[in-house]
Amino acid sequence: MKRAAFSSVVAVLALALTSCATPETRLRTGLVNAGLSKPIAACMADRMVDRLSLLQLRRLGSLASLKDERADDLTLKQFLHKVRALKDPEILTVTVSSAAVCSFD
């Protein structure tokens, strides 16, 4: 009986911790998982989180599932090609401007 209660507590705590991730953290992780370098992903996520809706941020984060396992990192050009495929002009505009600013930091 005590083991089941302990397992339930652990499950609730794990769920609580995953819900604490901010949209910026989720986007940054998604960008890194998509293949962008950590510094570029952090800079872009910081700028983009204030400019896009949560739905748009989720769509961007979903690009991680498109990563080519054969490649280590994506170039910005390759990433922007994937963003363009989302067919959301606002996402594309914000991403391009963020990539431009962050690539010179």
- Which tens digits make up the pLDDT trace of 55-64? 998 888 777 6
- Tell me the pTM: 0.70
In a domain, 10, yes or no: no
Side-chain half-sphere exposure of 76, counting CA atoms within 13 A: 16
Taking CA atoms, 64 is separated from 7, 54, 95, in Å, by 31, 16, 15
- The boundaries of the domain holding residue 64 are 22-103
Q: How many domains does the chain have?
A: 1
Mean pLDDT of the chain: 78
pLDDT band at 71 (very low <50, low <70, confident <90, very high): low
In a domain, 12, yes or no: no
In a domain, 74, yes or no: yes
